[in-house]
Amino acid sequence: MGFLVDHPHTAITETVYRVVTMDEYELESNLPSLVRMIKDASSDYQYTLNQEELARAIRKKLKYGSKLQQVRSLDLLNMLISQGIKFSTVYNDDKLIERLDVVTTAKVMNKRDGQGKPYSSRVVKNCNKYLISWNDYILDNGLDRSRCYRSILDLSEKVRTNYSNNISSKKTSKNKSTSRRGFLNDRADESMNYYKKPKTADQLYRIPPIDLKKESPKISLTLSNALAAAIALENSLITLPAGKNAMDDEEVTEKFVKARDIRRKVLRYLQLVTEGEFLGSLIHANDKLVEALTKFDERSWEEGTDGVRDDDDDDEGYDDDSINNYETDDSDDMDESRNTVSSSAPRRNIETDIYANTTKGSSSNPFGDQNEI
């Protein structure tokens, strides 16, 4: 009996492999079905095995997968943690933590993936970025004493310390003003933490401070609405008949207006939030909205132009201020990987492909209070 075939390989593994490999499967829309598969266990032992399988599937793609699969595996793990899903077995899986540690130090220690290839800069930076945001999430929510996040917290503390030391050393460099690597540890101006009567125009019109504890529920709601609006707009465009002007469809246009309005809120929070768990989520939400809004723009044209868009007519709502420049020079490789999937293929939900026949008749919300661990 070979040890390579002893591990369970169920719909959980298949789901993870599909969502991290095929760009047509949205992580956001398939996360609930994946969580439901794991929680749908007949015993605590089976529940633990399901989590072990999830951790193994993510680790395998981080170790042996392509650049796209590695990036999306990190995205999937980030969604689980940032959504407050308490999979303690996943977050304390020794082999997964070890692989994350390898990725974070890959450039410094010249470590490689399971195929002997160096990790791309984007994968390494995303991994470090997520670990720092997880550290903020755990500490800000008072979860640092919870055994659920112990191993993830230990690794994130190590990464944050390394980044802090790296940034401190860079401050002595003459080129520090041109460096973008320290943005993850930037702090808001402390002089903005208390109110003073403005005396100058700069003080009067500067960006005001934000109370994250007070605004946290509003930011979370905005993030949820942003992702929902982006998905709704993209889905409405998918069902739009070929050759039809999106501007002529009242429902599609309404979703476009809603997505654009929500994006303005996201951009406002991006001006105010300079650190913490919400920064990465806000950037991700903005990118998703930009993708959806751009697709609407591509399917729209002014009457009398015979379906030809005027590229000189810029839309100040979502062109120039898109936050996409944080990606590294490996983005071309990622685009090439994404081009393997037809751009016209509709977004799919794995729940209908794999799990539709195994869900219970009264499936519950996997994020609901009744499923709290």
Is 251 a domain residue? yes
Contact 32, 359 (CB under 8 A): no
Dihedral-angle region of residue 134 (phi above 0 means left; psi in -120 to 50 means alpha; beta otherwise): alpha
Confidence (pLDDT) at 7: 62
Q: For the full predicted model, state whether its pTM sits above 0.85.
A: no
Is 32 a domain residue? yes
Is the confidence at residue 177, as pLDDT, over 50?
no
Give the range with max mean pLDDT: 23-27, 223-227, 300-304, 332-336: 223-227
Is 235 a domain residue? yes
Is 43 a domain residue? yes
Whether residues 324 and 271 share a domain: the answer is yes
Is 211 a domain residue? yes
Task: Quick: pLDDT tens for 33-71.
Answer: 999 999 998 999 999 999 999 999 999 999 999 999 999
CA 26 to CA 18: how far, in whole Å? 10
Confidence (pLDDT) at 2: 43
User: Using CB atoms within 10 A of its CB, is residue 128 exposed (0-12), middle (13-18) or buried (19+)?
Assistant: buried
Confidence (pLDDT) at 130: 92
User: What's the distance, CA 254 to chain centroid?
Assistant: 26
Whether residues 133 and 95 share a domain: the answer is yes
Q: Containing domain of residue 242, as a range?
A: 204-328
Of the chain, the end-to-end C-alpha distance in Å amounts to 36
Sign of CA dihedral 12, 75, 139, 128: positive
Task: Quick: pLDDT tens for 189-210.
Answer: 333 333 444 444 444 445 456 6
Whether residues 156 and 29 share a domain: the answer is yes
Residue (of 149, 107, 145, 151) closest to 128 by Cα position: 107
Whether residues 97 and 238 share a domain: the answer is no
Residue (of 348, 229, 227) closest to 296 by Cα position: 229
Is 171 a domain residue? no
Is the confidence at residue 305, as pLDDT, over 60?
no
Whether residues 140 and 213 share a domain: the answer is no
**What CATH code is carried by the domain that includes residue 93?**
1.25.40
Whether residues 59 and 137 share a domain: the answer is yes
Residue (of 62, 60, 183) closest to 120 by Cα position: 62
Mean pLDDT across the chain: 74
Overall domain count for the chain: 2
